Amino acid sequence: MGALAGKRVLLVIGGGIAAYKSLDLIRRLRERGAAVRCVLTKGAQEFVTPLAAASLAGQRAHTDLFDRADEADIGHIRLARDADAVVVAPATANLMARLAGGHAPDLASTVLLATTLPILIAPAMNVRMWLHPATQRNLAVLQGDGVAVVGPNVGRMAEAETGPGRMAEPEEIADAVEALLARSNGEKPLAGRHLLVTSGPTHEPIDPVRYLANRSSGKQGHAIAAAAAAAGARVTLVSGPVTLADPPGVTVVRIESAREMLAAVEAALPADIAVFAAAVADWRPAAFGGEKIKKGPEGPPPLTLTENPDILATIARRTEGRPPLVVGFAAETTDVIAHARAKIARKGCDLIVANDVSAATGVMGGDRNSVHLIGRDGSLETWPTLAKDEVARRLVARLAELVPSP
């Protein structure tokens, strides 16, 4: 039996060249057991025909808001209700704008406005349209409204440009539909598990009033804690100084320095999964005295540094009480993947989440992240640029798959 057995998906096909892949998506969804009903925008019909969609779906496709037969028979309100999820693929810039703005000039957008079902969009458009501030604004609005997003992927586009904009592959979209339905059914894949996560920067005291720090905001680590709690885990979040609110349902242990973080992590064990997302200072001032350093005629004091404990490596290399799944992060500004591969071996962890934090990416402190997942076996997976919350949800879903059974 397919993972979507008994589920009904309303597939809204938008007007883009990727619409041909939506025909394949119908097949994939049906293979997994879902019943699929299609709505095509006017633009979509320039690329694929309602007949093709209907043939693959095994039921008639809908195109018009004011279709006399339709309004008597099924109508837009029933289309908006008689399903378990709505999938928009391809979600064009125009469809995203209409949904974000609440405009409903045609059947597809009316259904999207009328529905209370979970919605998943698979954006597909020219890279410049995707990166345009208006589209990114609409994306943020939609995510804020609880719309799930899959893709777009990076790759060559129809216009021979390269960049983010390619629609996610049908299998990826079908996976995202499964995850969306699992979430909306309140499934708790990490129920009964303890997940430990470190987050934020550390502050390394120079004297009682001064410290060394870094620019980590803690957004990604905190989002992972929140997503793990939503997935049913008992979560301990060991956090350096951040300005973020505590995620709901999470035990937060606040520390300042790397050594305090290590002690708090050790005290929180045992855990089934440990995720080290904190930006731990590599060094601390060697000679921390209890008194404030005074300005004097001898000039500035020397700042001698000494190495901090590597928390990730310490925990990953434990022979006793090592969490079965240990995840590290690698924030790099060059050769992201090569450095991450070296790091996985050096630290002894099972998985590395690598991201490019060079200034131009805006990852540090920003709300979005582009990550690569690198496994101990050398496997590499590159995710599209996503909201940090979405990176967290996907990562947690993956950890739930990877964590060994208790």
7 assigned to a ligand binding site: no
Q: DSSP class of residue 141?
A: H
Question: Closest approach of Cβ 179 to ligand C5P, in Å?
Answer: 25
Per the residue annotation, which of 214, 308, 355, 369 is the catalytic one? 214
Inter-CA distances, 50 with 15, 45, 68, Å: 12, 7, 17
The question of whether 185 is a catalytic residue gets the answer no
| Residue numbers 148-207 binding ligand C5P by CB under 6 A | 198
Q: For the purposes of burial, counting CB atoms within 10 Å of the CB of 294, is it exposed (0-12), middle (13-18) or buried (19 or more)?
A: exposed
| Residue numbers 72-131 binding ligand C5P by CB under 6 A | none
Question: Closest approach of Cβ 258 to ligand C5P, in Å?
Answer: 5
Q: Which stretch binds ligand C5P (CB under 6 A): 144-152, 247-255, 308-316, 397-405?
A: 308-316
Residue type at 255 in one-letter notation: I
Question: Closest approach of Cβ 285 to ligand C5P, in Å?
Answer: 15
Question: Closest approach of Cβ 42 to ligand C5P, in Å?
Answer: 49
310 contacts ligand C5P (rule: CB under 6 A)? yes
Backbone region of residue 280 per phi and psi (left: phi > 0; alpha: psi in -120 to 50; beta: other values): beta
In the chain, what is the straight-line distance between the N-terminal and C-terminal CA atoms, in Å? 26
Distance CA 284, CA 305 (A): 5
388 assigned to a ligand binding site: no
When the beta carbons of 310 and 390 are compared against ligand C5P, the nearer one is: 310
Instruction: Answer whether 288's CB lies under 8 Å from 303's CB.
Output: no
In this structure, what token pair is assigned to residue 58?
A: 């095994």
Q: Which stretch binds ligand C5P (CB under 6 A): 228-236, 316-324, 325-333, 386-394?
A: 325-333
343 assigned to a ligand binding site: yes
| Residue numbers 198-257 binding ligand C5P by CB under 6 A | 198
Chosen residue from 93, 168, 311, 392 binding ligand C5P by CB under 6 A: 311
Distance CA 12, CA 83 (A): 12
Question: Closest approach of Cβ 257 to ligand C5P, in Å?
Answer: 11
Residue 144 phi, psi dihedral angles, 5° rounding: -65, -30
For residue 330, count other CB atoms closer than 10 A to its CB. 22
* 404 preceded by a cis bond (ω within 30 of 0): no
| Residue numbers 336-395 binding ligand C5P by CB under 6 A | 343
Q: DSSP class of residue 279?
A: B
* Residue positions annotated with a catalytic role: 214
Binding residues: 282, 292, 309-312, 329, 343, 347
Binding residues for CTP: 282, 292, 309-312, 329, 343, 347
Give residues in contact with ligand C5P (CB under 6 A).
198, 258, 276, 278, 280, 282, 308, 310-312, 328-330, 343
